[in-house]
A and B are shown apart, each in its own frame.
Chain A
Amino acid sequence: MSVSTPRGAPFASGPADGGLDPAARSGYADHPPRVGFFTDTSVCIGCKACEVACKEWNAVPEDGLELTGMSYDNTVGLGASTWRHVAFIEQPVTVVDAPSAPSRAEGVRWLMASDVCKHCTESACLDVCPTGALFRTEFGTVVVQDDVCNGCGYCVGACPFGVIARREEDGQAHKCTLCYDRLGAGMEPACAKACPTESIQFGPLDELRERAALRVADLRAAGQDQAQLYLNDPDDGIGGGGAFFLLLDEPEVYGLPPDPVVTTRDLPSIWKHVGLAAAGLVTAGIALGLGRRPR
Chain B
Amino acid sequence: MAEAHPVGFQWVMEAKKRGAKVIHVDPRFTRTSALADLHVPIRAGADIAFVGGLINYVLTTGKFFREYVINYTNAATVLTGDFADTEDLDGVFSGLDREYRLYDMETWRYQGEEVRPAVGQRSPEETRARPTREQLRQIRAAGRGERHGSGGAACHPSPDTDETLQNPCCVFQVLKRHYARYTPEMVAEVTGIPEATFQKVCELLTENSGRDRTTAFVYSVGWTHHTIGAQNIRSASILQALLGNIGRPGGGVMALRGHASIQGSTDIPTLFDLLPGYLPMPHVYGNEDLSAYVAAETVQNGFWANTSDYMVSLLKAYWGDAATKDNDFCYGYLPRLTGSHSTFDTVLAQLDGVCTGYLLLGQNPAVGSANARMQRLGLANLDWLVVRDFSLTESATWWRNGPEIETGEMRTEDLKTEVFFLPAAAQTEKDGSFTNTQRLLQWHHTAVEPAGDARSDLWFTYHLGLRIRQKLAAAATEETAERDRPVLDLTWDYPVNGRLEEPDAQAVLAEINGWNSKGEPLSSYTQLKDDGSTTCGCWIYCGVYAGGVNQAARRVPGGQQNWIANEWGWAWPANRRVLYNRASADPDGRPWSERKALVWWDAENNRWTGHDVPDFIADRPPDYTPPDGATGVAAITGTDPFIMQNDGKAWLFAPAGMVDGPLPTHYEPQESPFANLLYGQQHNPVRQMISRPQSLYEPSGNEPGSGVFPYVATTIRLTEHHTAGGMSRFLPYLAELQPAFFCEVSPELAAERGLEHAGWATIVTARSAIEARVMVTERIRPLRVAGRVVHQVGLPWHWGLNGLTTGDAANELTHLSLDPNVHIQEDKAFACDIRPGRRPRGPALRDLVRDYQQRAGITPQTGTQP
Q: B6 contacts which of A56, A90, A196 (Cβ < 8 Å)?
A: A196
What residue in chain A is nearest B777 (Cβ atoms)?
Answer: A90
Per the bound structure, the CA–CA distance linking A131 and B511 in Å amounts to 65
In the bound assembly, the distance between CA atoms of A126 and B783 in angstroms comes to: 54
Number of interface residues of B (CB under 8 A): 49
Instruction: Using CB atoms, name the residue of chain B closest to A109.
Output: B34
Given contact pairs A63-B736, A112-B31, A90 touches B779 in the complex (Cβ within 8 A): yes
| Cβ-defined contact, A45 with B35, below 8 A | yes
Distance between Cα atoms of A289 and B777 in the complex (Å): 73
> CB of A110 within 8 A of chain B?
yes
| Inter-subunit contact A67/B742 (CB<8 Å) | yes
- Please report the C-alpha to C-alpha distance between residue A198 and residue B16 in the assembled complex, in whole angstroms: 13
Which residues of the other chain, A, contact B801 by a CB distance below 8 angstroms? none
Instruction: Given A102-B784, A103-B782, check contact A45 B2 (CB 8 Å).
Output: yes
| B195 near A47: Cβ-Cβ < 8 Å | no
**Contact code string B37-50 (vs A, CB < 8 Å = 1, else 0):** 00100000000000
Expressed in whole angstroms, the Cα–Cα distance for A135 and B808 within the complex equals 48
Distance between Cα atoms of A280 and B775 in the complex (Å): 62
Q: Check B451 for interface membership: any CB of A closer than 8 A.
A: no
Chain B residues lying within 8 Å of A102, measured Cβ to Cβ, are 748, 782-784, 789
Give complex CA distance A46, B804 in Å: 22
**In the complex, what residue of chain A is closest to B13 when comparing beta carbons?**
A197
Contact call B196/A65, Cβ cutoff below 8 A: no
Cβ contact within 8 Å between B758 and A108: no
A107 at interface (Cβ–Cβ under 8 A)?
yes
Nearest B residue (CB) for A100: B194
- In B24-66, the 8 Å CB interface with A consists of 29, 31-35, 39
Q: Say which residue of B34, B197, B720 sits within 8 Å of A45 (CB atoms).
A: B34
- Is B722 positioned at the interface, with any CB of A under 8 Å from its CB? no
Inter-chain contact total with CB atoms closer than 8 Å: 122
Q: CB distance A65 to B781 under 8 Å?
A: no
Q: Which chain B positions have C-beta within 8 A of A48?
A: 719-720, 737
User: Of the candidates A47, A52, A61, which one forms a contact with B2 in the assembled complex, judged by CB atoms under 8 Å apart?
Assistant: A47
Instruction: Determine how close the nearest CB of chain B comes to the CB of A61; give it in whole angstroms.
Output: 8
The answer on a CB contact under 8 Å between A46 and B778 is no
Q: How far is the CB of A223 from chain B (nearest CB, A)?
A: 12
B29's nearest neighbour on chain A, judged by CB, is A108
- Does A71 touch B at the CB level, under 8 Å? yes
Q: Which stretch of B307-315, B525-533, B605-613, B727-735 is in the interface?
A: B727-735
One digit per residue, 1 when the CB lies within 8 angstroms of any chain B CB and 0 when it does not, for chain A 55-66 equals 110000111111
- A110 adjacent to B739 (CB under 8 Å): no
- Asked if B777 and A98 sit within 8 Å, CB to CB, the answer is no
Interface hits, A9-48 → B, CB 8 Å: 43, 45-48
Residue from the list A63, A99, A109 in contact with B194, Cβ < 8 A: A99
Is A65 touching B739 in the complex (CB atoms < 8 A)?
yes
- Per-position 1/0 for A81-110, Cβ under 8 A of B: 000000000101000011111110011111
Q: Contact string, B8-27, partner A, CB cutoff 8 A, digits 1/0?
A: 01100100000000000000
Q: Of all chain B residues, which has the CB nearest A92? A: B778
- CB distance B192 to A100 under 8 Å? yes
Check if B748 sits within 8 Å of A197, measured CB to CB: no
Q: Which residues of A contact B7 (CB under 8 A)?
A: 196
Contact with B along A191-227 (1 / 0, CB 8 A): 0000011100000000000000000000000000000
B799 → chain A, closest Cβ, in Å? Answer: 12
Chain A, residue nearest B35 (CB): A45
What B residues does A109 contact at CB under 8 A?
34
A154 interface residue (CB < 8 Å to B)? no
The contact string, 1 if C-beta is below 8 Å from chain A, for chain B 169-207, is 000000000000000000010001111110010000000
Inter-chain contacts of A46 with B (CB < 8 A):
2, 31, 34, 719
B757 at the A interface (CB under 8 A) = yes
Within 8 A of B (CB), among A201-256: none
In the assembled complex, which residues on chain A have CB atoms less than 8 Å from the CB atom of B188?
100
* Bitwise interface map of A from 278 to 290 toward B, beta carbon under 8 Å scored 1, else 0: 0000000000000
Q: How far is the CA of A122 from the CA of B139 in the complex (A)?
A: 76
Residue A74 CB within 8 A of the other chain: yes
Is the C-beta of A172 less than 8 angstroms from some C-beta in chain B?
no
Query: Distance (Å) between the CB of B719 and the closest chain A CB?
Result: 5
A98 touches B196 (CB 8 A): yes
Residues of B within 8 A of A112 (CB): 31, 34
| B691 interface hit (Cβ, 8 Å) | no
Among B719, B735, B748, B804, the residue within 8 A (CB) of A47 is: B719
Contacts A47-B6, A69-B758, A196-B6: A52 and B13 contacting too (C-beta < 8 A)? no
Q: Are B31 and A65 in contact (CB under 8 A)?
A: no
Residue among B6, B10, B719, B732 facing the most chain A CB atoms (10 A cut-off): B6
Nearest residue (CB) in A for B735 is A65
Question: Which of A72, A74, A75, A196 is close to B10, meaning CB atoms less than 8 Å apart?
Answer: A196
Residues of chain A lying within 8 A (CB to CB) of residue B739: 64-67, 74
Determine the distance from Cα of A67 to Cα of B718 in the docked complex, in whole angstroms. Answer: 14
Instruction: Give chain B residues whose Cβ lies under 8 Å from the Cβ of A103.
Output: 748, 782
Q: Which residues 761-788 of B sit at the A interface, judged by CB distance below 8 A?
A: 773, 775, 777-779, 781-784
- Interface core residue of A49, A51, A98, A111 (most chain B CB under 10 Å): A98
Q: Which residue of B lies closest to A47 (CB)?
A: B6
By a beta-carbon cutoff of 8 Å, the part of chain B in contact with chain A is 2, 6-7, 9-10, 13, 29, 31-35, 39, 188, 192-197, 200, 718-720, 732-740, 742, 748, 757-758, 773, 775, 777-779, 781-784, 789, 804-805
Question: Using a CB–CB distance below 8 Å, which chain A residues touch chain B?
Answer: 43, 45-49, 51-52, 55-56, 61-69, 71-72, 74-75, 90, 92, 97-103, 106-112, 196-198
Beyond A69-B757, A72-B31, A99-B194, 4 additional contacts (C-beta under 8 Å) are A65-B739, A68-B758, A100-B192, A110-B779
